[in-house]
Structure 1
Amino acid sequence: MQNYLAASKYIDFDHPEVAAKAAALAEGAATPLDVAQRCFEFVRDEIRHSSDYKLNPVTCKASDVLRHATGYCYAKSHLLAALLRANGIPAGLCYQRLTVGTDGGPYCLHGLNAIHLPQFGWYRVDARGNKPGVTARFSPPTEVLAFAVRPPMERDLPEIWVEPLPVVIHALETYPTYDQVLANLPDVALLG
Structure 2
Amino acid sequence: MELLQEVPDSSAYLAADAAIDHEHPLVRETAERLSEGAPDAYAYARTAYEFVRDAIPHSFDSGDPRVPWRASDVIEQGNGICYAKSHALAALLRAGSIPTALCYQRLGEHDGSRQVIHGLVAVKLPGRDTWSRQDARGNKPAINAEFSLADERLAWRVRPELGEADYPVLFAAPHPVVLNTLRAAVDATHLGRILPTGL
Matched position secondary structure for 1:113 = strand
* 2:143 alignment partner in structure 1: 134
Query: Is 2:100 aligned against 1:91?
Result: yes
* 2:188 alignment partner in structure 1: 178
Q: How many residues align?
A: 188
Q: What pairs up with 1:148-167 in 2 under 5 angstroms?
A: 148-152=157-161, 153-167=163-177
Matched position secondary structure for 1:144 = coil
TM-aligned CA deviation for residue 51 of structure 1: 0.7
Greater share of residues in strand: 1
TM-score in terms of structure 1 length: 0.95
Matched position secondary structure for 1:157 = strand
Superposed CA deviations along residues 7-39 of structure 1, whole A, max 9, x for unmatched, are 110000111001100111112211100000000
1:47 to 46, 51, 56: 56
Root-mean-square deviation over aligned CA pairs: 1.1
* 2:37 alignment partner in structure 1: 28
TM-aligned CA deviation for residue 70 of structure 1: 0.3
Amino acid paired to 1:36? A
Matched position secondary structure for 1:22 = helix
1:102 to 110, 122, 126: 110
* 1:81 alignment partner in structure 2: 90
Amino acid paired to 1:112? L
Superposed CA deviations along residues 89-135 of structure 1, whole A, max 9, x for unmatched, are 00010000001x22133211000000001344200000000000001
- Contact persistence 1:63–1:79 (CA under 8 A): yes
* 1:117 alignment partner in structure 2: 125
TM-score in terms of structure 2 length: 0.91
5+ long unaligned stretches in structure 1: none
Matched position secondary structure for 1:77 = helix
5+ long unaligned stretches in structure 2: 1-9
TM-aligned CA deviation for residue 139 of structure 1: 2.1
Matched position secondary structure for 1:70 = coil
Instruction: Write the distance in 1 (CA, Å) between the matches of 2:20 and 2:136.
Output: 15
Percent identity of equivalent pairs: 46
Amino acid paired to 2:143? V
* 2:179 alignment partner in structure 1: 169
Structure 1's consecutive aligned runs of 4 or more residues displaced over 3 angstroms after TM superposition are: none
